Structure 1
Amino acid sequence: MKKYRINVHGMTCSGCEEHVATALKKIGAVNIDANFNRYEATFELPDDVGIETAQKAINEAKYQSGDSVLIESDDALVLGDEGDYDFLIIGSGGAAFSSAIKAVEYGAKVAIIERGTVGGTCVNIGCVPSKTLLRAGEINHLAKSNPFVGLHTSVGQVDLRQLVEQKDELVSKLREEKYVNLIDEYGFELIRGEAKFVNETTVEVNGKQLTTKRFLIATGASPSVPNIPGLEKVAYLTSTTLLELKELPKRLAVIGSGYIGMELGQLFHNLGVEVTLMQRSPRVFKDYDPEISEAITKALTDQGIHLITGATFERVEQEDGLKKVHITVNGEKRVIEAEQLLISTGRIPNTEALNLGVAGVKTGRRGEVLVDDYLRTTNPRIYAAGDVTMSPQFVYVAAYQGGIAADNAIGGLKRKANLEALAGVTFTNPSVASVGLTEEKAKEQGYEVKSSVLPLEAVPRALVNRETTGVFKLVADAKTLKILGVHIVAENAGDVIYAGTLAVKFGLTIEDLRESLAPYLTMAEGLKLAALTFDKDVSKLSCCAG
């Protein structure tokens, strides 16, 4: 078999990818990876089938074949015979450390290049600091308004400075234990400075040129700022600087209510701040099923968070210490005033300083590094992983991809990244967790769909907690009854979703969930009750009768 990469013009969606793959399969191609974002396809052909046959098949499928290259074997590298390093990694977050550790295990000479703080987003300015403060906010909120009659709790004034100092201590401790200390433990090198490509085998750092056989780009992403008139003249906050505040504002306005804006908005609401979340989309979490959006919307609004959807942002101004956001909603002009303004409208990859063009590495419209299923960029010597590729922005995805990149770049294993059973969690209260296909996505992929929706008030654990706003939703293949997607809005949904992940990953069926023994008075029991809901009214079952 010979492996080829060929440019394919005319692909615009995943359906186009399938059409190209089908055309290539008919001529005997295997291991096909068609990608409309990169306008190319890679595949292997039997030795007696020429590339001209593949080009003809693509053209007959109504796409236009372009230049092709024969890809050399991806066998494991011969280590240590030339260059300063075997593997240079730019960035020092989850993807970088996972990849470095794996590469060292292969015997490679490895170095990580970092221009800022070691550890990347998660430990320094993302998951760890936000979640520890979220927990503080939850405790404050419950003390202020617990749901139990006869239980009298109260709160004092929140000292944000002390909370932030405690958060910083935790961040520093985990950074040392989980990142910095591992450098000597595994024996790779840390180079401090900013890396800039000179050519496909060389980068310059602090005026010194370093050569290597393989690269990994793992530089992460940073908060993006929308183009709203006047915003450049206003002292706004990002997800990074918000977590550094030492005093609570009276009011916080948030532009953008994705998972970051929603978590941070609820955090400050729970600490006693009046919070307004604003977004352009007509409903929150628009990529989720409507039941999920409706449940989290009800939860947030019942808690007293102001939620504005369908907003057009006209301009932003600052006057007498107040930020004023001028918006239009359903034709009505409004002005939202707050002492602090958080911009939470997504993230952009950190690629501007890398000089990727000289290395033959292509980027997408947002500046993201384009990679194939093996995490290779358009230069087969250079790999990329994590947020810089605009893959799902979770540290566990970055670490997973980093390990695959090392296996392929150093070990020659040809491992593909597979995120089909990827679970995502938003750590609000109630939290939102999802894995697999939504009902809409399942139908788009051609499934005949069967779904069940279980309100949280039907879950005994929620009843005893006296927190019943939420929902369980299961999406299944109507023919095979296999679980295609699990979607939850509930307390501890992030803990429950791992069971859903296993159901999706290993093709469990509705009947498998029904027949499992779910511990009574756990939130996870909601999965079994949701499975029963496909053809039973669970409100008419006795406790544990499932």
Structure 2
Amino acid sequence: MTSIDCDVAVIGAGTAGLAAERHARKNGARTVLIDPAFRGTTCAAVGCMPSKLLIAAAQAAHSVRQAPEFGVMATAEVDGKAVMARVRALRDHFVAGVKDSFERVPQKLKGKARFTSATTLELEGGERVTAKAIVIATGATPSVPEDYDVVSDLVLTNETVFELEDFPKRLAVIGAGSLGAELAQAFARLGVEVTLLDSGSGVAGLKGEEAARMADFLREDMAVHLEAKVKVARDGAGARLDWEQGSVVVDRVLVAAGRPPALKGLGLETTGLVLDDHGTPEFDHATLRCGSSTIFIAGDANHDRPVLHEATAEGSIAGRNAANLSNILAAERKVPMAITFTHPNVATVGHVPEGVETVTGRADYADQGRARAEAHNRGFVRLEGDGEGHILSATLCMPDGEHVAHYFALAISQGMTAAEMLDQPIYHPTLEEGLRKALSQICQHCNLPVPWDRRSGPQPGDI
């Protein structure tokens, strides 16, 4: 058995793992990066980038079909094989960039690792690693319920769907969360007959009436069934999905029902760590340290904020702290932000601290000027502020919400009030103008002076 000693061992060469190894090394640690495949990050290989490539193709097809509304006569003919070939070609380009970064890591070990104690790891190839600190950055993996075993050859996940050579004629998507909603709408706009099903009532992170409105937007492209308890059966060469309100036969089933942390087989039971009900180590969200141990956990493996920019931040925090066990620092975390790249975009920014009473501002995009000009007039905004008018959170379901979300992340991080946001320049005609109503409502609730609004006429000194 080959024995290796190091200061910091990092398990997982994804976004969080690469950041952890890099920052541990920058802080003077001797590192080892361990991964079963070194295939590239989830984002580049099977997540963010290939899905956005598919969405881009879908938006191109949708724009052509929508062109007659502007007096432009055009028809769209979609070549599924060409679409998927472009998705894979550019996906591989992005993955190659990640793989280049592996070459800059001084010490790497390929294979599955498992803990044999809180400071030792064994790899399937026989290597033994002893480390002063260990960072768990194993990511997450698709969850496919056992019910789908009967049609396992027809099941797709985010890790296999981009390998399709051509589109299926009929596709069921299970799960209306961000991933399911994005891919379902993309395939539907590319001409696939899509049925989106979810056992719950939420859509793309929205709940209640807001989820219902988003579901209606999605129904413009496909069938959407919420609170559908699905039963699966084989139907010839296809799959039949039955639920109380209906039934559908499809050629393939894309399961997007969640991505739990990839911790199985890691031997966490040997570490002495306290595990939660899902088998995830309990950890400090500011330091990423698991209890009082020398083990840290970052990225999708801790399932706290499973998005790329947070994985990078968490890897950086964990790597720095793992290399400085005598001086572990609590980091100030970024404003929470999550975006679903459907059309309209869905974004949630910030959060309301427990026990804080809020005031609400709302706006609708059905008749917003710029949105109507571009025939994207679908959506709404809900803002929550505290009693002094500081913006705490924003829920956006609107065109270009992915960009407006960053506007609110900055405002929340700077502690801005609705009045201060209204006092910033808002160009005409832009989608940002549609935010005025929601911001003004918060000002009125909090008895804040509302800065000049063109609808109320010019004020002294404004001209």
1:317 maps to: 233
Equivalent in 421, 424, 427 of residue 516 of structure 1: 424
Is 1:299 paired with 2:217? yes
1:157-180 CA-partner distances (Å, limit 9, x unpaired) = x23333222222222222232x32
For the 8 Å contact 1:349–1:367, the answer to whether it is kept is no
1:263 maps to: 182
The one-letter code matched in structure 2 to 1:389 is: N
Distance change in 2, residues 1:236/1:229 (3 Å): closer
1:121-156 CA-partner distances (Å, limit 9, x unpaired) = 111100011111111111011112336331111111
What CA RMSD, in Å, does the superposition of the two structures yield over aligned residues? Answer: 2.6
Is 1:360 paired with 2:272? yes
* Structure 2, unaligned runs of 5 or more: 445-449
The one-letter code matched in structure 1 to 2:237 is: G
Equivalent in 338, 341, 351 of residue 424 of structure 1: 338
1:502 maps to: 410
Kindly state the Cα deviation for residue 482 of structure 1 after the two structures are TM-superposed. Answer: 0.6
The one-letter code matched in structure 2 to 1:320 is: G
Equivalent in 127, 132, 155 of residue 208 of structure 1: 127
For the 8 Å contact 1:457–1:463, the answer to whether it is kept is yes
1:206-246 CA-partner distances (Å, limit 9, x unpaired) = 11112111111100011112243764656311122122111
Distance change in 2, residues 1:522/1:446 (3 Å): same
Higher relative contact order (CA 8 A, sep 6+): 2
* 1:67-106 paired onto structure 2 within 5 Å: 84-106=5-27
Equivalent in 343, 349, 354 of residue 435 of structure 1: 349
Distance change in 2, residues 1:289/1:540 (3 Å): farther
The one-letter code matched in structure 1 to 2:263 is: T
Amino-acid identity (%): 28
Given the two structures, how large is their TM-score scaled by the length of structure 2? 0.90
Kindly state the Cα deviation for residue 265 of structure 1 after the two structures are TM-superposed. Answer: 0.3
Matched residues, number: 448
* 1:231-246 paired onto structure 2 within 5 Å: 231=150, 235-246=154-165
Kindly state the Cα deviation for residue 525 of structure 1 after the two structures are TM-superposed. Answer: 3.2
Q: Distance in 2 between matches of 1:540 and 1:456?
A: 18
1:167 maps to: 87
Is 1:135 paired with 2:72? no
* Structure 1, unaligned runs of 5 or more: 1-81
* 1:108-123 paired onto structure 2 within 5 Å: 108-123=29-44
Is 1:189 paired with 2:107? yes
Q: Distance in 1 between matches of 2:32 and 2:270?
A: 21
1:279 maps to: 198
Q: Distance in 2 between matches of 1:343 and 1:544?
A: 55
Q: Distance in 1 between matches of 2:381 and 2:196?
A: 25
2:310 maps to: 397
Larger Rg: 1
Report the structure, 1 or 2, having the larger strand content: 1
2:447 maps to: none
Kindly state the Cα deviation for residue 495 of structure 1 after the two structures are TM-superposed. Answer: 1.2
Equivalent in 362, 376, 381 of residue 289 of structure 2: 376
Q: Distance in 2 between matches of 1:449 and 1:371?
A: 30
Q: Distance in 2 between matches of 1:469 and 1:340?
A: 30
Kindly state the Cα deviation for residue 306 of structure 1 after the two structures are TM-superposed. Answer: 0.7
For the 8 Å contact 2:151–2:234, the answer to whether it is kept is no
Kindly state the Cα deviation for residue 107 of structure 1 after the two structures are TM-superposed. Answer: 1.8
1:488-508 CA-partner distances (Å, limit 9, x unpaired) = 112211111011011222211
Distance change in 2, residues 1:137/1:543 (3 Å): farther
The one-letter code matched in structure 2 to 1:311 is: A
For the 8 Å contact 1:234–1:318, the answer to whether it is kept is no
Q: Distance in 2 between matches of 1:520 and 1:101?
A: 44
Distance change in 2, residues 1:247/1:149 (3 Å): same
The one-letter code matched in structure 1 to 2:268 is: L
Q: Distance in 2 between matches of 1:310 and 1:375?
A: 36
Q: Distance in 2 between matches of 1:357 and 1:544?
A: 68
Kindly state the Cα deviation for residue 544 of structure 1 after the two structures are TM-superposed. Answer: 11
Is 1:198 paired with 2:116? yes
